[in-house]
Chains A and B, each alone.
Chain A
Amino acid sequence: MKKAVLLAAFFIFYYVFATHSASALGIAPGRVEMNFMPGYENEFTGYVSSSNQEDIEMYVDGELKEYITLLTPDRLTIYPDKQVAYSFRVKLPETFERPGRHVGYIWAMQHVEAQPGVAVARVKVGTTVRVNVPYPGKYAELTFTIKNPNVNDTIVFEIGVTNLGKENITQAKGEIEILDQANGTLVMLQTEGKPIETTMTETLQATWFSDVAPGLYRAKVRVLYDGETAGLEREFNIGAPLIKIINASAEPIINGTIGKMQTKIRSYWNDEIKDAYLEVFIKDMAGKPFAQHKSENINVGAFDAPVITSFWDTSEGVPLGNYTGLAVLRYLDTNDTKEFGIAVIAKPFAFGSEWLLIIAVVAVIAGAAAIAFLVRRRKHKNKFAQKKLM
């Protein structure tokens, strides 16, 4: 008894909650970036907007926190789709011990009150303040973007090279190695060479015609500049995972039985796609939803073309006629659909055992009746013959 009481006490009430309405918050500018200048001081103005009436908390965070001062109140009230201005001062020191990027944030955050039994959700957006302190000598920082990552398309690779050093770079040249999932090198691309002045950014570009299967690939990027090397790696997808419904069909379903519907699908992706499933929605002759069925989740292997079987239980009887089925294949974040026809027909006549039994019973009854008739007729004849003799 004591154990039962203890078990009953082991419960938890977890609830992540925010207002049910969509909650949107924005801040501008998104980023203020500057090259370090000793003692630099300036004031900036930004704006905060919200889709709802909000109390907003403003605060400063990050390693530049001590060099950023909010000039406007740390609590603002915003009205729907109106912007409210805020301002801040940046006052940099004479020196930074560490070269490179230094970052601070001015955050605008929804004000919420904690509620018992609830995990309250809120949104915050930040203005990033970025100060680039030059490195001694030459120092390249890289960004990498990939455009048109489609099969049989010209993919454009762009390396952004920023010279964060105090000296100009005479020439920077990029190499991009594309590897498949087995870590095999598919191609080595070269970019043009460019000089980059201190604090400036240049873009190095290479293109590649992607006559490869869709899937996950990896790019190894190296930039050679004046005897130095900078690098980064990035995974990327070529093409998109795609499964199509090849066809969907159903044999005529005999009313009162469980009917089968077959949907053939095909994957055009070179890797397994997990947790795909099929929903079949059935509409009646008037186009009204009538029934639906959801399949088990399946994992579709690379380039597989499985058939998914769905069922429609008509054991309790449905009106005879032609119905419309809509097969919806759901996978990852998308779906494919196909319509097909379904006929529900009456149970056809069949000369089965029950009919034999009925015929046998009728035959027995008919036979008995015939015998009875014959016996009676014979008796009647005998009686007539006896009367004639008398």
Chain B
Amino acid sequence: MVNVSNNLIATLLIAAIVISGFGLVTIANIGRISVTGGATGTGAANVTITGAVAIELLKNFTHFNTSTLDGAGRIISTQGDNYGTFEDGGEGNGTSGGDVYGSCVGTEATCAFPFVVRNIGNVNASINVSSTNEASTWIGAGAATQVRGKNNETNACGASFSGLAGFGEGSWANLNSTATGETVVCSDLDFRDSPNQDEIRIHFQLTLPGDAVGAKQDVITIGAIDSS
């Protein structure tokens, strides 16, 4: 995994260098355009081009498993004890321990882990999450999906979690569908790997209506852009 990441970073750095060169050409072009395009002359024509945005999903598998609902609505989460035979939540990435809840004993077979996102680019990144459909559409009426960010490495997101709820953790926020816009969980994820502070967790919380039934499907998208 380390080799893959290093190779990717190397590739992106080369790309950044190439783009830096391209940026110089672009600035020269702007000079010509400013003459022919009738620029007002009130602003120095310049273009800023930054490096690479890149993220890696270290943990991209959350397994709540199956349970029978008793007719009452239930909330299940990757960050707590869960109802029935749904797996309990677990912190960390599932391979390096971390806090666990209830019957979760730190293994993928017994825990519903959060996603773990690492910023492997060379700029700070804003991390967002979106779902193809609203929860009420893909689970059923009365359903809701929420997400929150939490540091997987100290100070990775600093005070930039959405709805800072305490040290190193954001508040639960409704997961928006792609149509209504992404939900930002961390507006400034550090890219520095040393000291270790470039990883966050993305926790999920589902509100299940009592009459939820059957297998469901959806697409969850983790997005990243330059946060500067």
Contact = CB atoms under 8 A, between A and B. Distances in A.
Interface string B90-123: 0000000111000000000000000100001101
A336 interface: no
Contact of B34 (A14, A15, A37, A274): A37
Given A11-B67, A116-B215, A27 B221 contact: no
Contact of A26 (B120, B139, B168, B210): B120
Interface in B185-228: 204, 206, 208, 210-226, 228
A143 B160 CA distance: 13
Given A23-B60, A24-B56, A334-B154, A30 B121 contact: yes
A274 B54 CA distance: 32
A74 interface: no
Given A83-B11, A236-B159, A16 B1 contact: no
Contacts of A24: 4-5, 8, 54-57, 120
B47 A33 contact: yes
Contacts of B220: 16, 119-122
Interface string A118-155: 11111111111000001000000001000000000000
Interface residues of B, number: 95
B155 interface: yes
A134 B153 CA distance: 39
B12 A15 contact: no
Given A45-B22, A114-B219, A124-B223, A11 B44 contact: no
Consensus secondary structure, chain A interface: strand
A199 B54 contact: no
Given A28-B19, A37-B45, A277-B99, A235 B164 contact: yes
A7 B70 CA distance: 6
Nearest to A167: B42
A369 interface: no
Given A31-B228, A44-B26, A198 B43 contact: yes
Counting chain A residues whose Cβ lies within 8 A of the other chain, the interface size class is: 35 or more
Contact of B54 (A39, A49, A122, A143): A49
Given A10-B211, A49-B11, A198 B222 contact: no
Nearest to B153: A333
Nearest to A46: B19
B58 A22 contact: yes
B228 A81 contact: no
B223 A20 contact: no
Interface stretch (A104-112, A222-230, A314-322, A348-356): A104-112
Contacts of B222: 121-124
Contacts, number: 300
Contact of B12 (A28, A44, A332): A28
Nearest to B85: A11
A81 B7 contact: yes
Contact of A199 (B46, B52, B155): B46
Contacts of A66: none
Nearest to A241: B167
A18 interface: yes
Given A22-B58, A29-B51, A117-B217, A234 B4 contact: no
Contact of A330 (B54, B76, B99, B215): B99
A306 interface: no
B159 A235 contact: yes
Nearest to A14: B64
Given A11-B67, A12-B139, A18-B60, A122 B14 contact: no
A126 B18 contact: no
Given A22-B58, A42-B30, A125-B54, 6 more contacts: A11-B66, A15-B64, A24-B8, A32-B48, A117-B216, A332-B168
10 contacts: A12-B139, A34-B45, A37-B45, A46-B15, A49-B12, A83-B11, A122-B222, A198-B44, A274-B166, A333-B151
Interface of A: 6-20, 22-42, 44-47, 49-51, 80-83, 105, 107, 109, 112, 114-128, 134, 143, 166, 197-200, 216, 234-237, 240-241, 271, 273-275, 277, 297, 330, 332-334
